[in-house]
Structure 1
Amino acid sequence: MDLSRSQAGAARMAHVMAIPYPGRGHINPMMNFCKLLASTATDVLVTTKVMEEWLGISPTIGFEPKPDAVQFAPIPNVIPSKRDRAENFPMFIEAVMTKMEAPVEQLLDRLEPLVTTILADTYLFWAVRIRNKRKIQVGSFWTMSVLVFSVFHHFDLLAQNNHFPIDLAKRGDELEDYIPGLPPTRLVDLPTFFEGKGRATLDRALECFSWMLKAQYIILTTFHKLEARTVDALKAELPLPIYTWLDAQPEASVLYFSLGSFLSVSSDQMEELTTGVRNSGVRFLFCGKRGLVVPWCDQLKVLNHFVVGGFWTHCRLNSTLEAIFASVPMLAFLIFDLPIVEIVQRFMDLDSEDGKAIRKMASELQ
């Protein structure tokens, strides 16, 4: 396919790399979503990664996207053939989890224009790891029902209620009535992770869910009337996208709080810090009811957002330079002579003499 475009056009283009789990039931919904995206959005190119074995498969829906908007890009057949996977499904899952990441990352390096977003099946948790290294957005694409999503997302509740592990032959008729969005359900009617192949691959599935929460977007293939109760429960629980939350805040009102990717503090220290920030009454991007907690964000993009009025930083050089570039005043994470609550309030007070002086200096440094 000819991907030659002008430099200006390439710079404006959103290039999505779609990475489906290598199974027809996963590829079809992702391809349908990609075609829907390419048919309704302008300046979007979608490259769908497939195994060489799958190149002949091209699912369609009731309309075709604009020409050249969706393309296939193969990687070598590094996992067992789809014809043989049923013979040893746990081995197939392990290969998907461990052998696909490297060739996908190599493909990512070859694609032009540069990929701006990764769309990956939730079971391909390593796509989030690739995104962490490259600092681009990633969407986690869930192809099963939202009900099954909620069961996995709240799996710890089964253990807390002494419902996992159990012998279904003896206790399968017992009811769970505590998973958000689910009606009372017999344990035997829950997803098949209590025994057999499902039990053998459960740990890998739960690992995928722990990584899923680090994605910027979670995409569920359902519609409201089909699973309204479960969808509403998840919408109320899952964290808001960073920029949706930021866009809703007043100008220069948010304290961005980050201790970097390397520095760690004790749980007692973290509790003291977060309690102080919460008690200050200041909006913040980190934790608590008045703020937003996220596992990772594009720090430079956040610092340049118009609602960010201050940066609580551990003072490493990258963070310092990014804050100067964005003209955001910094609150140094050192030993405080004043109570945390008071210093946070003074730092974020735009009308005080100190607040004005700090922001004037930040502007001059910029």
Structure 2
Amino acid sequence: MEQNQKTSSLKKRHRLVAMPYPGRGHINPMLNLCKLILSKSDNFSITFVVTEEWLGFLSAEAQEKPLPENLSLAAVPQVIPSEKGRAANIMEFVQALLTKLQHPFERLLDRLESKPIAIIYDVFLSWMVGVGNERNIALASLVTVSASFFTVLSHFDLLVQHGHVPLHVSEKETYKLNRQDEPLDYIPGIPSTTFADLPPSFQKDGRKLLNQMVDMVSSTNNAQYILITSIHEFDKQPIHSLKTKFHVPFYQIGPMIPYFSYQNHKTHNYFHWLDSQPKGSVLYISQGSYLSLSNDQIQEIILGIQDSNVPFLWVTRGEIENLGEVDNAKGLFVPWCDQLRVLCHPSIGGFWTHCGWNSSSEGFYAGVPMLTCPIAWDQFLHSRMIVDGLKIGWNVLKNDAHVITRQEIAEIVSKFMDPECYERKEMVKRAKEVRDMFRQAMDNGGSATLDFDAFINDVMPKHD
């Protein structure tokens, strides 16, 4: 079903179809991409395809932030587990994603009023390659992970060849990683790292899922365009490596965060609270929208943050309700916030983050130092990038089961936010340099803007 708006005007435009992976960290960048396309050109209409569950979420959100008139939502049946089901069994979710979504999408595609000139799809919806090629529709693969992590997945065979990952992992086999701290310096485009900085899923747990992700990435070679959500100045080496492996045009279009509209939203109550705080004094805390730490660790973090006496704004996602009474005189707990706008507020002095690529990108754009707390997948590599590569943050947690105590957390948070701390001053300086690099690339005439405009020009039919 499609929610068309001003159908008569839509028919005059070239249709694009966009379909994200059904998760918040993938839907948001795809939606931002579509909005940015429509802000630059009125020659397109976009049909944004999601599951019925996400249609409900996005329709509700559109009541506060209306969608562009030439962007319409469409839904395929809920043939995969719900968002809650994904958290309970990620393998079941991904398996359904790979086997049950294609046919409903094809039926929707064939019912559209006009044939799309291109399908923009999340890189992890690998079955889209067959759909587009069969119908002679151009395919643009949106890479919603970092270029570095995409590069690692693209060269996963090297990890196997060098013995850092077993070729086969059976149910009964235990692979002992006694080379965790050994340098990994053989992945093209990736600075020397260690296996400990790669996701735990590269080990036994999650290996089946990982193998599927590697297959998804390799299928991208059959697309017509690859859209990288980063900038040339930031990811020169990984992009060069990818260009030698994939024979598809690459466009480094910049992070698909709402930088083009974040100043236009309504003011929420938490902004009044931020306005009352001293410049650079508040720690913004968000652990993302999906995976969580253990309850014991969350409790230690909450108590440690409060013991630090640092003002904080915390997007809780329900963690607080399980912990009884919490003194919120020193900070503010909210179930949701306008994250990029918050990070760019002058009172924000630091960002406690799980290091998802969208959140990391918003931290770069805002120019704030980060306390990294990765949980899974690409987050560990981003943490290493932030802490050791860019040197604009510190890592809070260890890559093991050890629970960091409230005393340890209070100590690191107090030092991290201390305006007189020399290490902090240096991080602030470098974070501003990263911010300037990203903003210049995403301004008019910048490298990301030029690549974005080039993609729009290339996807447009040449006979018009």
Q: Do these two structures clear the TM 0.5 threshold for a shared fold by scoring above it?
A: yes
Aligned to 1:16: 16
2:35 paired with 1:27: no
Aligned to 2:157: 156
CA offsets per residue over residues 72-99 of structure 1, 9 Å max, x none?
1011110001012121111111000000
Offset at residue 156 of structure 1 (A)? 1.3
CA offsets per residue over residues 179-219 of structure 1, 9 Å max, x none?
11101110121233323553130221122122111000111
- How far apart, CA to CA, are the structure 1 residues paired with 2:36 and 2:205? 34
Structure 2 counterpart SS, 1:222: coil
- How far apart, CA to CA, are the structure 2 residues paired with 1:132 and 1:146? 25
- How far apart, CA to CA, are the structure 1 residues paired with 2:82 and 2:32? 23
Superposed CA RMSD in Å reads: 2.5
Letter in 1 for 2:124: Y
Q: Identity of aligned pairs, percent?
A: 40
Letter in 1 for 2:81: P
Aligned to 2:202: 194
Following TM superposition, the consecutive aligned residue runs of length 4 or more in structure 1 with deviations greater than 4 angstroms are none
Q: Which of these two proteins has the greater Rg computed from alpha carbons?
A: 1
State whether residues 35 and 64 of structure 1, in contact with CA within 8 Å, keep that contact through their aligned partners in structure 2: no
Describe how 1:1-366 pairs up with structure 2 within 5 A. 1-2=4-5, 4-5=7-8, 10=11, 13-58=13-58, 67-165=68-166, 167=175, 169-195=177-203, 197-241=205-249
- How far apart, CA to CA, are the structure 1 residues paired with 2:73 and 2:176? 44
Residues 240, 211 of structure 1: CA spacing in aligned structure 2 closer, same or farther, 3 A cutoff? closer
State whether residues 150 and 217 of structure 2, in contact with CA within 8 Å, keep that contact through their aligned partners in structure 1: no
Structure 2 counterpart SS, 1:129: helix
- How far apart, CA to CA, are the structure 1 residues paired with 2:247 and 2:134? 22
Residues 207, 234 of structure 1: CA spacing in aligned structure 2 closer, same or farther, 3 A cutoff? closer
TM superposition score normalised by structure 1:
0.60
Offset at residue 41 of structure 1 (A)? 1.8
State whether residues 192 and 199 of structure 1, in contact with CA within 8 Å, keep that contact through their aligned partners in structure 2: no
Structure 2 counterpart SS, 1:55: helix
Aligned to 2:322: none
- How far apart, CA to CA, are the structure 1 residues paired with 2:6 and 2:130? 27
State whether residues 148 and 191 of structure 1, in contact with CA within 8 Å, keep that contact through their aligned partners in structure 2: no
Instruction: Flag the structure with more relative contact order, 1 or 2, with Cα contacts below 8 A and sequence separation at least 6.
Output: 2
Unpaired runs of at least 5, structure 2: 168-174, 251-461
State whether residues 168 and 188 of structure 1, in contact with CA within 8 Å, keep that contact through their aligned partners in structure 2: no
Residues 168, 46 of structure 1: CA spacing in aligned structure 2 closer, same or farther, 3 A cutoff? farther
Offset at residue 16 of structure 1 (A)? 0.9
State whether residues 168 and 187 of structure 1, in contact with CA within 8 Å, keep that contact through their aligned partners in structure 2: no
Residues 196, 32 of structure 1: CA spacing in aligned structure 2 closer, same or farther, 3 A cutoff? farther
Residues 196, 55 of structure 1: CA spacing in aligned structure 2 closer, same or farther, 3 A cutoff? farther
Offset at residue 56 of structure 1 (A)? 3.4
- How far apart, CA to CA, are the structure 1 residues paired with 2:162 and 2:177? 18
Structure 2 counterpart SS, 1:180: coil
State whether residues 3 and 112 of structure 1, in contact with CA within 8 Å, keep that contact through their aligned partners in structure 2: no
- How far apart, CA to CA, are the structure 1 residues paired with 2:187 and 2:176? 19
- How far apart, CA to CA, are the structure 1 residues paired with 2:224 and 2:34? 17
- How far apart, CA to CA, are the structure 2 residues paired with 1:123 and 1:180? 22
CA offsets per residue over residues 216-270 of structure 1, 9 Å max, x none?
011111123433332333345532549xxxxxxxxxxxxxxxxxxxxxxxxxxxx
Structure 1 counterpart SS, 2:201: coil
Residues 235, 87 of structure 1: CA spacing in aligned structure 2 closer, same or farther, 3 A cutoff? same
- How far apart, CA to CA, are the structure 2 residues paired with 1:89 and 1:196? 15
- How far apart, CA to CA, are the structure 2 residues paired with 1:161 and 1:112? 52
Letter in 2 for 1:124: L
Report how many aligned residue pairs link the two structures: 237
Structure 1 counterpart SS, 2:15: strand
Offset at residue 147 of structure 1 (A)? 0.5
